[in-house]
Amino acid sequence: MTTNTLITESIQLILRHQAATGAYLASPAFTHYRYSWLRDGSFTAYAMNCVGQHESASRFYQWCDRVLRRHEHKARAAIAAVNAGDVGGKTGSDRFLHTRYTVAGEEVAGNWGSFQLDGYGTWLWGLAEHVQRSGEDDLIQRLAPSIELTLEYLTACWRLPNFDCWEEWGDRVHPVTLAAIYAGVKAMERHLPHRAGELTRLSETIRHFVLEHGTAHGQFIKSVGHAVVDASLLWLTLPFGLVQVDDPLMERTVQSIEQELLVGHGVHRYADDTYYGGGQWLLLSAWLGWYYARTGRWKKAHQIAEWIVSKLKETGLPEQVQEHLLSPSEYTSWVERAGEPAVPLLWSHAMFLVLASELGVTNPS
Ligand code: BGC
C-alpha cells in the first residue's frame, strides 16, 4: 500500500460511510460509534474539502443544519436557563445539546458525556473553511438560522465546564474546547457583518481567557487547573489559530508532546490514558505530522504519513494501535466491555488525508 493508494481508499471509505442524510458515521463497525459526531464529522468534512470532495462536505454541513433545527427548542431552553443564572447541577445532564446523533439527527439515549461544546465551534469553523474552499457562498445564507443559534448557544455556555474532546472530565474547562469555540466564532465574523463587532469581542475574550487560565510553566495545559499535556493541544494552532505555529507557548507544548506522548511515530492522547490500554492514536500522529509540515520538518512529516500507511488493517485505519500501551492492564477489560478497538475510524482516514494534502500528495495516480 502506498500513500497515494491510501488517499484513494480513504476518500472512498469516507463516502461509503456517509449516510444519505449527509452524516458521517464515526465508525461503522464499533457499536458505540455507529453515530455521527459534530467533532469527527467536521474534521472529516474538512479533509474532504482538502481533497476536492466539496459536495460530500456540503452534505455534511446541511446535516448539521438539520440537527440544529431539530433541537432548536432544547438549545433555546438551555440558553435561557444559563442566561438566567441556572447552570444546572451535573454538567452531564441532558439539558444541553448532545455531541453525537443518529444519522437521522436524533439524540442517542444512554449514559454518555453528552455535554461537549467543542463540536459546536468546530462545525462553524469547518463550514467557513468549506465555503472558502468550495466557493459555495450561498450556504451561509441558507444555514443562517442554525449558525445564529449556535453562536447564541456558545455565547451563553462557553464558560461552563463540559466534557472534553475525549468525552472525559465534564467538570473542567478545557483550552482545546475553548479554541474550537474561538475558531468557530471568529470564522463567522466575516460572514455576519451585522454581528462582527460582537463576535470579535467574544473571540478575543475567549482567547485571553485561554492565555490567562489555560497555560502553566510557559505552555498550554489540558484543563484549567490541571497542568498536564494533552496531544489535542496541537489543535489550538492547527487548525484553530488561537496562536501561531511558532508561538513560544505552542513550541513548548509541542516539545512536551514529543517528550511525554510520542513513541516512535505514534502519539498518545495523554499520559494517564487507560482507554483500550492507552494506545497511540493515528489521528493525533497525523496532527503532529501536520504541525511538522507547517514548521518545515518535512522528513518527519513524511515518516509519520508512512507509519500511518503501515497501520492499515483489512477494513481500514483504526482509531488507535496497541504497539505501545500506557496502561496495558486495561486493554483486555475494554475489549470485554466494548469489543475490539474501533476500525475503521473515519476520523483517522480524514486526518491522514489532511496530512497527505499538506505534503502535496493529494492527486492520486
Ligand atoms: C473519542 C472522541 C470521538 C469519539 C468518536 C471517542 O472515543 O474520545 O474524540 O469523537 O470517540 O470517534
- Predicted pLDDT of residue 364: 46
Ligand 1 atom closest to the CA of 347, numbered from 1? 12
H or E stretch covering 281? strand 280-281
Among protein residues, the one with the nearest Cα to ligand 1's atom 8 is 166
Across 20-29, 89-98, 341-350, least confident range: 89-98
Is residue 1 pLDDT above 90, yes or no?
no
- What pLDDT does 110 receive? 87
In which band, very low, low, confident or very high, does the pLDDT at 362 lie, cut at 50, 70 and 90?
A: low
Nearest CA to ligand 1 atom 12: 26
Over the stretch 285-313, which tens digit does the pLDDT of each residue have?
999 999 999 999 999 999 999 999 999 99
Residues whose CB falls within 8 Å of the CB of residue 325, separated by 6 or more in sequence, listed in order: 277, 278, 279, 331
- Number of the ligand 1 atom closest to the C-alpha atom of 275: 7
Q: Does 167 contact ligand 1 (Cβ within 6 A)? A: yes
How many angstroms separate the CA atoms of 12 and 253, rounded? 35
**What pLDDT was estimated at residue 363?**
53
Query: What residue spans define the domains of the chain?
Result: 35-247, 260-365
Atom of ligand 1 at shortest distance to CA of 26?
Answer: 12
165 CB less than 6 Å from ligand 1?
yes
What ranges in 235-297 are assigned the alpha helix state H?
Answer: 248-261, 282-294
Determine the average pLDDT of the residues in 83-111: 86
| Average pLDDT score, the chain | 96
Is 230 considered catalytic here?
Answer: no
Q: Kindly name the residue from 72, 167, 189, 330 that is annotated as catalytic.
A: 167
Mean predicted confidence (pLDDT) in 124-146? 98
User: Which pLDDT value is given to residue 90?
Assistant: 54
> Measured between alpha carbons, how far is 250 from 151 in angstroms, rounded to an integer?
27
pLDDT in tens, 64-86: 999 999 999 999 999 999 999 98
Say whether 314 is catalytic.
no
Q: Residue 36, SS3?
A: strand
Q: Is the pTM higher than 0.95?
A: yes
Is the C-beta atom of 33 inside 6 A of ligand 1?
yes
Q: Is the CB of 136 inside a 6 Å radius of any atom of ligand 1? A: no
Q: What is the pLDDT of residues 102-129, one digit of tens each?
A: 999 999 998 889 999 999 999 999 999 9
**Is residue 290 classed as helix, strand or coil in its secondary structure?**
helix
Residue 89 confidence (pLDDT):
59
Instruction: Please give the share of the chain, as a percent, with pLDDT higher than 70.
Output: 97
The predicted-structure confidence for 219-257, as pLDDT tens digits, reads as follows 999 999 999 999 999 999 999 999 999 999 999 999 999
Contact status, residue 120 vs residue 79, Cβ threshold 8 Å: no
Range 35-247 classified under CATH 1.50.10.10: yes
Residue pair 115/170 in contact (Cβ under 8 Å)? The answer is: yes
- Convert the pLDDT of each residue in 149-181 to its tens digit: 999 999 999 999 999 999 999 999 999 999 999
- d(CA 354, CA 365) in angstroms, rounded, equals 18
CA of 363 to the centre of ligand 1 (A): 29
- For residue 365, pLDDT over 80 is answered with no
